[in-house]
Amino acid sequence: MREIIFDTETTGFDPATGDRMVEIGCIEMVSRVMTGNHYHAYFNPQRPMPAAAEQVHGLSDRFLSDKPSFGEKADELLAFLGDSPLVAHNASFDFGFLNHELQHCGRPPVSMDRMVDTVALARVKNPGAKLSLDALCTRYGIDRSHRVKHGALLDAELLAQLYIELTGGRQIGLGLADNDSSNKLTDQMDVNSVQATKIFRPARPHSASAEELARHAEFVAKIKDALWLQPGSTL
């Protein structure tokens, strides 16, 4: 089954009051395995970036000034999403902004039936625990040391690993190869690779040396009435 894990960055908390989406990052998974395919885009919100929001994700007015509007990228994004289930952390927030932007540019909203909320999944598996992405990554041993600021693609990659753990788990870092280098994630996708830091040691010799064999034969020769020397012994 194909699923899309996604995250957004915005100018604030409520699209109904004029806040806009400024970044989206999407990770493709098939049968709970990251394929390497992804979609990532920045958008010009056509409004000033509040200082508090910029402190969270680091996206300034200057950086976003030459980026396309959401409407210019909407069809491209929708083509990547297809009809797959959409997984997000506190999904109603991301769905709210996604559908607001789609409606703003004349596209139909995404059905809420496609929504999978990892906060709800985590609440069932970890009742009473902290449910932030940072807290859950720590709980499940997912390395987030490279997460200095929020970023849609980076957070989607972390969320993909968390989603795997919440739905059964597997070895972190396992994924399908993708020969299309133009459609691979950046180095941040390889941060948690177990193989990147695993130390391989040569096999230790386990055969007895000539000296050890001689000492063993000398020892066996001293044994009187050995069972294996008696007639009819099967030893």
Q: Find out whether 40 is annotated in a ligand binding site.
A: no
- Residue 161 CA to residue 143 CA, distance in Å, equals 10
Annotated catalytic residue: which of 146, 150, 206, 216?
A: 150
**How open is the CA angle 168-80-149, to the nearest 5 degrees?**
65
Q: Find out whether 180 is annotated in a ligand binding site.
A: no
Let me know if 216 is a catalytic residue: no
Please tell me what DSSP assigns to residue 173. Answer: T
Q: Return the exposure string of 180-202: e unless at least 16 CB atoms fall within 10 Å of the residue's CB, then b.
A: eeeebbeeebebbeeeeeeeeee
Secondary structure, 3-state, 185-198:
CCHHHHCCCHHHHC
Q: Find out whether 3 is annotated in a ligand binding site.
A: no
Q: Find out whether 211 is annotated in a ligand binding site.
A: no
For the annotated catalytic residues, the residue numbers are 150
Question: Can you say which residues are annotated as belonging to the binding site for a divalent metal cation?
Answer: 7, 9, 155
Question: Can you say which residues are annotated as belonging to the binding site?
Answer: 7, 9, 57, 155
Question: Can you say which residues are annotated as belonging to the binding site for substrate?
Answer: 7, 9, 57, 155
